[in-house]
Amino acid sequence: MKPVIVVKAGRHAESAQAAASHTGALAGSDAVYDTAFKRAGMLRVDTLGELFAAVETLATTEPPPGSRLTILTNGGGIGVLATDALIGHGGKLASLSDETVDALNEVLPATWSHGNPVDIIGDAPGKRYADALSILTETENADAILVLNCPTAVADSMDAAEAVIAEHERAEGGYSHRPTLLTCWVGDYTAQRARQRFAEARIPSYTTPEAAVRAFMHMVSYRRNQEQLLETPPRYRSASPRITSVPTH
């Protein structure tokens, strides 16, 4: 089934009033439309920018089963920005088990964050990204992993991108539960090649942590709406079929 993504103008009273005087004269109660879109299994977004981002995301990866996100980053600041966006949109930070923390301790510097977001420090080379991603992919506590990169003078962002792609491809098909992978390489010129490589590898990539989290939550919403679409209304549920006799004369 192809996803249906909707943008509807007139979300607020003032904009609905403006729409009523032009070509959007059929704009009505936004709450009614919102409920109808969800019940029909559609994904509603707020802007045209979100529309195109959602199309790209749903075309390249399967929606995660839940809203638990692990954030892997080489910068504490962008990790916090992603966390703020996640909580603000109703998502959850995935918990790290003791086993996962112990495994990360084996491959990360002693100064790593020891929590989620998993901050692997600004000098992280590609191998450190790959090692951490491999461990986080094995856990069943997360529905998705967002890998962030902030350009620094002491590490190669392109090396990190190639390592993430290689680890993602290595792990493909190797786990019964593999979290959805999203990426965000911050920057303009320095991140263009990395984003191109992610696109070639069919890994969703975004320009800001907030945009990445918003895309993640769009996938969560779409999955929930699809599940709601497939639910059978209570009045149609029955332990056994009801048989009605039909007169023969």
Contact 58, 219 (CB under 8 A): yes
Contact 71, 82 (CB under 8 A): yes
pLDDT < 70 positions in the chain: 1, 10-28, 173-177, 231-249
Contact 176, 139 (CB under 8 A): no
Q: What count of other Cβ atoms lies within 10 Å of the Cβ of residue 204?
A: 23
Dig out the tokens for 234 from the structure: 């209570």
Q: What are the boundaries of each domain within the chain?
A: 62-217
Q: Coil, helix or strand for 139? A: coil
pLDDT of residue 106: 97
pLDDT of residue 246: 38
pLDDT of residue 96: 97
What single DSSP character describes residue 234? G
Question: Global pTM?
Answer: 0.79
Contact 29, 108 (CB under 8 A): no
Q: Distance (Å, rounded) from C-alpha 8 to C-alpha 58?
A: 19
Q: Distance (Å, rounded) from C-alpha 115 to C-alpha 95?
A: 8
pLDDT of residue 237: 43
CA nearest neighbour of 184 among 96, 66, 53, 94:
53
CATH of 62-217, one of 3.40.1160.10, 3.30.750.24, 3.40.50.620, 3.40.50.261: 3.40.50.261
Compute the radius of gyration of the chain from its Cα atoms. Answer: 22
Q: How does pLDDT run across 114-170, given as a tens digit for each residue?
A: 999 999 999 999 999 999 999 999 988 999 999 999 999 999 999 999 999 999 998
Euclidean distance between the first and the last CA atom of the chain, given in angstroms as a whole number: 45
pLDDT of residue 178: 84
The per-residue b/e assignment along 45-61, b for 16 or more CB within 10 angstroms, e otherwise, is beeeebbebbeebbeeb
